[in-house]
Structure 1
Amino acid sequence: MASLVLLNGAKTHTGFLGIVCLSASKASYSTDVPAWYRPLKSTNQATFKKGPGGRSSFNGVVATVFGCSGFLGRYVVNKLGKVGSQVICPYRADSSDVQHLKVMGDLGQILFHPYYLRDEESIRKAMKYSNVVINLVGRDWETKNFSFKDVHVDGARRLARIARESGVEKFIHLSALNASEHPTPCYYKDGSKFLQSKYHGENAVREEFPNATIIRPSDMYGQEDRFLTYYAHFWRRFIRLVPLWQNGNKTIKQPVFVGDVAQGILNAIKDPDAVGQIIQAVGPRRYLLRELVDWFFRVMRKDENWGYIRYDARFDPTFKLKVALTEAIQLSHPIGNLHHERVEREYVTDVVEKSVPTLEDLGVQLTFMEDQVPWELRPFRAGLYYDSAIGEFQKPAPPQVLA
């Protein structure tokens, strides 16, 4: 049922359905595509972009963010809400755990839906109206209810399969930088089961959703992270002694700011070239682990004068005993995030492949640790409530950067 429609003074054939995009000179988002024509993927007016852009507009993206209540999740939801996306936040447990996400978007743009990772019907409902699905679900340690395989492999496969069956346009999956089928053991002889499960999770997602975008972040730092706070916690050290495998001389880290990873996910949604790609989310600089840990304690004003000493954990069997004891007495969350998986991954060197795109290829301007970390570690300073005079404390020397 073809017809002719006048489009900016020119006749255009609308095709079988008679659908055409009428572009006006004052239309919002007119710079996104050629000024004379914007093809429509749907005739549903609820999917049309509305407003001049920003948090009080709608940019056409309806995203379901699984794992929205986690560390990275709240940054991603905030980034999406800031540009006018509608966000569905699936949650488990109590709804009050995600209520803080409500203010990250305009009225009616942040929606919540209960779900269970093994319940396919609740997952389908959560992504029923979405054109983007983001999987941030993950666990740093195994529990009696969920193993690494349950979460990182079976759960990821289930989400990817249902997203494909639901007609979702883009699926973004969070993996890990050093994911490997056979991780090289460092501190424990069995290696990291976490990194192994992340590797198999990538393969599972690819099998179910071949055009999925996979993000591989290194250690992320930010507010309430599990990297800076891990070293700052008193349970990680023996009073003022800090054990590190091989004294931190054999491990290279390239940490990334969590806000940069969230921005990379947002850019991957908008970038058509990111479809089906693997993105390495790493920071701009590489450091030896000993340089980072020494610098963290200098920033916290807990240097050698305070009593800080770093030593080789290989010659201290009591550290492994402490880790085992912590896991034995934990009810749900390990004290100070100290468990054998975290200790093992702590000493895995970050390997960045030159042939694989990074966040910079997505247009992300990376944050330097030297600019951000002092702010993040401020609550952990020695003598936190001491009112120091201007210039009383010298600025701590930054860590040495590897070439």
Structure 2
Amino acid sequence: MAALTLQQTLLITRAGHHPLAAIGIACSHYSTDVKPLKNPHTASLKRGTGGRSSFNGIVATVLGASGFIGRYVCNKLGKNGTQLIIPYRGDSYDVRRLKLVGDLGQVLFFPYDLRDENSLRKVMQYSNVVINLIGRDWETMNFKFEDVNIKGAAKVARIAREMGVEKLIHVSALNAAENPKPIIVKGGSKFLATKWHGENAVREAFPDAIIFRPSDVYGHEDRFLRYYNHVWRRTYRYLPLWKKGEETIKQPLAVSDLSTAIYNAIFDDDATGKVFQAVGPKRYKLSELVDWFYRLMRKDEENWGYKRIDLRWDIPFQWRVSLTQKFCPSWPVAYLGWDKMERDHVTDVVERGLPNLEDLGVVLTHMEDQVPWELRPFRATAYYDEEVGEFAPPAPPPVVV
């Protein structure tokens, strides 16, 4: 087929198309490998040889960047030449340190509110990628689970579609279900139920959205390893778990692996419209995991007094959960709440047929290689100057096949 003439190109441009789009149309007649720019503007052009001081062609809006996972995702994007737009709610000092994840002028901040559609449009209007990490482990006085996980997620997806965003990445949760099976709380976890409805709402508004379902995520400043070590999570030195944790199986994931997978999904055309199960490489009983954590912290039963007990019979701890949830609604101490206790004891279910992070080229981190370093600051008598080889490394937890 003959190439477009200069006159035809000018006619296309006068009809309202950008000149770069016209060039893309003309080039498409020469080769099917040439892809026209969907949003032809200066930011669509890659610059540099790769790395932090380059521009990889991605302008990403990261919602929920101030959270645990968000910090790692922003760092992964920034070090690879992504222009970042980081909306924040509340004090700007909460996200100011994220300015260092990218090169000078590549990280921009903008105040927003999830209930304000105009602010959402402003933070998405120049982006070709939107990553939704907004979430909360508990309900607050201003935001219920439905407000964040369903209405908020649907609003982000709808506005992203309206603003011409090319890729939307939505982070949900493993074990999300329409009717979660109850273990402790009557009716099951509201968090998991709203996450399931939120996925459907996102898919309806943005059919090509990429959805991640992470299990418990661990890393620096996490809410998994440090949660089980918190003094408010214990009854003195006794740790209550539902049925001592013997009937719960978990498959925790390193936060660095999740951030790598999110970054890789941006450039993987095959990932479009898929749901990825973000789980670690091994499955463990919750009881064995927690015992291993305390062995690593040198807080075993013999020397420190640690003991795992049954939550069903620890009435004082049950009162503590209820009182914490009632009197600390916006930020509960140690994240205690009955919905959190319910999710803690839900066995991780990995569905067959759905892709995982290895399908995105991620080499999964084993807990045995990372967790000892994470828990090192929490050791009993942490300032004791030990001799080399004085303490034998504790045996790792057995793997559930």
Deviation of 1:97 after TM superposition, in Å, equals: 0.5
In the alignment of these two chains, the number of paired residues is 386
- Which range moved further: 330-339 or 294-303? 330-339
1:7: which partner in 2?
none
Q: How does 1:296-335 map to 2 (within 5 A)?
A: 296-305=293-302, 306-330=304-328, 332-335=330-333
Q: For 1:2-401, what aligned pairs fall within 5 Å after superposition?
A: 2-3=4-5, 18-20=22-24, 39-305=36-302, 306-330=304-328, 332-401=330-399
Query: 1-side partners of 2:60 and 2:189: how far apart?
Result: 32
CA contact (8 A) 1:264 1:362 kept: yes
CA shift, 1:332, in A, is 2.9
- Measured in 2, the distance between the counterparts of 1:70 and 1:22 equals 45
For residues 255 and 58 of structure 2, what CA distance do their matches in structure 1 show?
A: 22
Q: Distance in 1 between matches of 2:269 and 2:33?
A: 21
Task: State the alpha-carbon separation in 2 of the partners of residues 42 and 123 from structure 1.
Answer: 19
Cα RMSD after superposing both structures: 2.1
How far the C-alpha of 1:91 sits from its partner, in A, is 0.2
Shift of 1:320: 1.3
Please tell me whether the aligned partners of residues 3 and 15 of structure 1 are also in contact (alpha carbons under 8 angstroms). no
Could you tell me whether the CA contact under 8 Å between 1:58 and 1:86 is conserved in 2?
A: yes
Q: CA deviation at 1:239?
A: 1.1
2: distance between equivalents of 1:206 and 1:230? 32
Structure 2: 5+ residue stretches without partners: 14-21
For 2:24 and 2:180, the matched residues in 1 are separated by: 53
Letter in 2 for 1:196: A
* CA-CA distance at 1:42 after TM superposition: 4.5
Instruction: Kindly state the Cα deviation for residue 47 of structure 1 after the two structures are TM-superposed.
Output: 1.6
Residues 324-369 of structure 1: CA deviation (Å, up to 9, x unaligned): 1222232631111211111110000000012100001111110000
- Preserved contact between residue 141 and residue 329 of structure 2 (Cα < 8 Å): no
Task: Give me the identity figure in percent.
Answer: 61
Equivalent pair of 1:21/1:40 in contact (CA under 8 Å)? no
Equivalent-residue separation in structure 1 for 2:252 and 2:10 (angstroms): 51
Q: For the structure 1 residues 176 and 323, does the alpha-carbon distance in structure 2 shift closer, same or farther, using more than 3 Å as the test?
A: same
- After alignment, is 285-294 or 338-347 more displaced? 338-347
Letter in 1 for 2:325: E
> Residues 40, 233 of structure 1: CA spacing in aligned structure 2 closer, same or farther, 3 A cutoff?
same
Looking at structure 2, the residues matched to 21 and 371 of structure 1 have their Cα atoms a distance apart, in angstroms, of 51
TM-score (ref. length: structure 1): 0.92
C-alpha distance in structure 1 between counterparts of 2:35 and 2:269, whole Å = 16
Change (3 A) 1:37 1:277: closer
* Structure-2 change in CA distance of 1:244 and 1:15 (3 Å): farther
Are the aligned partners of 1:134 and 1:173 in contact in 2 as well (CA < 8 Å)?
yes
- Per the alignment, residue 9 of structure 1 pairs with none
Cα distance per residue 1:105-154 (max 9 Å; x no partner): 00111110000000000000000100000100011000110000000000
Whole-Å separation in 1 of the counterparts to 2:392 and 2:329: 42
Q: Distance in 2 between matches of 1:80 and 1:233?
A: 32
Q: Which consecutive unaligned segments of at least 5 residues does structure 1 have?
A: 5-12, 24-33
1:16 positional shift: 5.2
Write out the 4+ residue segments of structure 1 that deviate beyond 3 Å after TM superposition: 13-18, 20-23, 34-43
Deviations 1:207-234 (Å, cap 9, x if unpaired)?
1111101100000001111111110111
For the structure 1 residues 40 and 207, does the alpha-carbon distance in structure 2 shift closer, same or farther, using more than 3 Å as the test?
closer
